[in-house]
Amino acid sequence: MSNHISSESLHLAHILLVGNARESSTGIAASLRAEGYQKLTCLAPDQDLLTRIMDAAVKEDGLDLIVVDLEATGWDTGRALCKMLSRTLAASLVVVNLGKDEQSRLALLKAAGIEDVFLTPVALDIFKFKCEKIISRRVLTQQQHTAEGASHRLFLNILQIMTKALETKDPYTKHHSEHVARYARQLAQSFGYDAEKIGLMQIAGILHDFGKIGVAEMVLNNPERLSAAEFETIKRHPVIASSIIEPIKELAAIIADVRHHHERYDGQGYPDGLAGEAIPLGARILCVADCYDAMVSLRPYQQIMTPEEARQELVRCSGRQFDPEVVKRFLEILDEEAARGKQLQQAY
């Protein structure tokens, strides 16, 4: 067995054999069972074959390897079946019985998503060896994804701990970063970001104000109007935050978003006075999410607004402080959340 995958993990793979009426398939099943694979399903080809394969995939919580006997299914039917399965299931596909005109048929099978082809009579030792390699690769990939998922969760937890540290200096920011992260994620989805970029926008929301860790508490918690010097100090926090995350290569894509989330659409913001679409879209998203949550939250330097008042302020400042398209999409998100809330109340 593989040096990296235990036999126990390998033998948990679910293998589906299509065309078990033929002697070659029977031999394959017996050989795999003798090797230690126990989760084997054998299906004879019929008009309900595709439905039965899908049922097997659901019942077994997915399939790892599908072996299709082309002589049992027929060449055209088997190839069409493989092409459909490669598009709908994550299982690896191999076929047996290539038949005549080997090179042209091999090319057609590769186009159908086949990983390997075995001529009959099947050399069982080679078959088992190659299947083990295919399954081992799948198990390793799954283990890697699991590890990456755990690492990502740990990373997010560390970021949240960092924001909690900021809250000890500025209690008025409690839960603010969480709210901004949620709004930023929803907005990123509305703009068609892929899953990785959506996750990064969530992280940007968590970190957008972390530069305030470098601002004195007496300035952060000043209930009076800030002096010009104090305001200049506050204005440094996006630059501080971006410099803190700059060494983290995994966050390179959001450095500019964090740095520029206080830029204004009319060019009157900070730190660099960018305007319009020169401001990264992620920063424009953070700007709307940040300002809305700040308006509806208790702060020492401003009176809290109702959600409706905050909505009106977003509209009033659209095209000046805020990107009009981001405002439009954000209001749609708020409307959808309000509608779901009403439905929930009616249900009870």
Tens of pLDDT, residue by residue over 1-47, are: 344 555 666 677 888 888 854 555 558 888 888 888 878 888 888 76
Domain residues of the chain, as ranges?
A: 7-142, 170-347
pLDDT tens per residue across span 261-305: 999 999 999 999 999 999 999 999 999 999 999 999 876 666 789
Least confident of 118-122, 198-202, 318-322: 118-122
- Identical topology for domains 7-142 and 170-347: no
Write the CA distances from 296 to 171, 226, 264, 291, 335, integer angstroms. 15, 20, 20, 9, 16
Of all residues in the chain, the percent with pLDDT exceeding 90 is 30
Q: Which residues pair with 66 in a beta bridge?
A: 16, 93
Query: Whole-prediction pTM value?
Result: 0.56
Q: Which fold has domain 170-347?
A: Hypothetical protein af1432 (1.10.3210)
Domain 7-142 grouped into CATH 3.40.50.2300: yes
From the list 295, 59, 23, the residue with the least C-alpha distance to 180 is 295
Contact by Cβ (8 Å): 193, 172: no
Cis-peptide, bond into residue 271, ω within 30° of zero: yes
Q: What is the pLDDT of residues 163-190, one digit of tens each?
A: 666 666 666 666 788 899 999 999 999 9
